[in-house]
Chains A and B, each alone.
Chain A
Amino acid sequence: MELGFTLAVFGGALAVVLGGIGSAIGVGLAGQASSGVMSEDPEKFGSYLLLVALPGTQGIYGFLSAFLVMLSLGLVGGPLKSPTIYQGWQILIACLPVALAGLVSGIHQGKVCASGVYMVAKQPKDLMKPVIMAALVETYAVLGLLITILLLNGINL
C-alpha cells in the first residue's frame, strides 16, 4: 500500500479515536453523576439516560466521518483506490475538524450534562433546559462534522 493510502486511513482512525475519547469521557462524567443521583431517586432513569446519552454523538460523528473516508478509499463496497501522498494528507487534515472538535466538545458537553443531571434531580419538570444547554456545546461538534464532510466531499480520488 502507498503512503497516501496509509495517511488517509490514519485520518479516518483519528476521527473515530478522538471523537470516541471525547464521547467516552463525556458520557462517563454524566453517567457517574446520574448513577450517584439515582441511588437516591431511582425513578427518573429515563430522564437521566437522555442526558447521559447526549455527549455520545461526538463518537458517532467521528465514526461517520471515518466511514466516509473508507467509502472514498474503496475500503467498503468499491475497488481500492490509491490516493497520492498529497491526497492522503488532504484526507487526514479533512478529518481533523470532527476529531478535535469532538474530543474537546464531548468532554465539556459531558460536564454540562452532569450538572444537568443534578438539576433534573431537583427540578424534574425542567428536563429540556439542560438538554438545550448541552446542545449549545454540541454545536461545535456539529460544525466540525459539517466541515469534515464538505472537505471529504471535495477531495476527489
Chain B
Amino acid sequence: MEHALITELETELVQWGLDQKSRPVRSVYFGGGTPSLARPSMFKSILGVLDRLCHLTKNTEISMEGNPSSMISVKSLRSLRGIGINRYSLGVQSFQNHILRELGRDHTSSSALRSLLEARLVWPGRVSMDLIMGHAGQTLDDWTKELRFTMDVVDDHISLYHLTVEPGTELHSTVARGMVTLPDNDLGTDMYEAMIELTSQAGFEHYEVSNFARNGAYSIHNSGHWLGIDYLGIGPGAHGRIRDPAGWMHQCTELGTGRTQAIDAEEAKRELIVLGMRTKLGVELEMFERNTGQELLKYLDADATKACIAAGLITLRPLSLSPTERGMAVADELVARLIP
C-alpha cells in the first residue's frame, strides 16, 4: 500500500509539472477511511516525497482525519504531530449513542468526547469535528440540546451536516419502505437555522454551507478546493470511485498512476460558481476571470442576477459576488438560476 501510494504520488507530481520548488504546497489532507490506523512511518515517507519534489513550508496545512473509536494514546498523537501533522479532524457525527448505533458507527459518545479532548491537548485551536443532524425522529429540541453541549466542548472548527440519504444504503431502503420518517423540509430548515444561530452565539463564523470556524481557523484545504485552487487526489479512495484497491495498487506500481481527471472550460465555470455560492466569500471576480477567461457578471444570467440581488439572496461587492445567509441556504436553487 505504502509503495503504491508513493509511486502514484511521484508520477502524478511529475506528470502535472508540480515538481517545482517554486510552487509550495498549500495543504495536505490525509482523509477518507481511517488513516489514523496506518503506521506513522507511511505519512512520514509521503511528506518526505512532497517536501523533496515540491516544497512544504511551515504554513502548509497538514491535516489528518481521525477515528473517534480507535484508541490512540496522546503519545501517538504527539508522534503524528512530530512528523508534521498540524491539524486533526474527528468524525464524531453525534454525541448520542442511539444515533451512533443507527449510523452504524463503532464509537460511543464517551470515546468521541475523549478523542476530541485529547486531540485538543495535542493541537490546540487546530482540531475540527463533525456532527450530523436530521436523523429519523430527531426533534428541533433534541438538536439544539446536542448543539449546546457541542459548543461547550468544540475546538475552533466544526462541520455540521444535514443527513444525506444515499441510494443503496440500508437507511435509504428503510426510508423508502416508510419504516422511518426523516424530518421534513420545514423541520430541516428550522434545524439549519438553529445551527446558524447557536454557532454564531458561540463566536463561530458560517463560512461554508456546512462549515463553521472561529479565531480564523478555516480549513485551508477545503477552502482551497472551494476557491478553485488546483488539487491532486492520490489513493484509492480519493474520489470514492475505485472499488478494487488491489487492482488499483497493481495499476499504480505498473503504470505509475491510477487515473487522471481533467475538466472542460464550461464545466470549470459552473464548478467555480456552484462551489463559490456555498461559501460566505462567494465567487471572487478576479479569480473567476483569471481561471476561465471570462468576466463573471457577463457569464451569469443578468435578469436572474438582478432579481436575486433585489431579493437579498446575493450581494455584489467590489471584489466578489457573495451569497447572503438566506442565499446560501438555497444555494442549489440559486445556481440553477444564475448559471445561464
**A and B: bona fide binding partners:** no
A residues with a Cβ closer than 8 A to B are none
B residues with a Cβ closer than 8 A to A are none
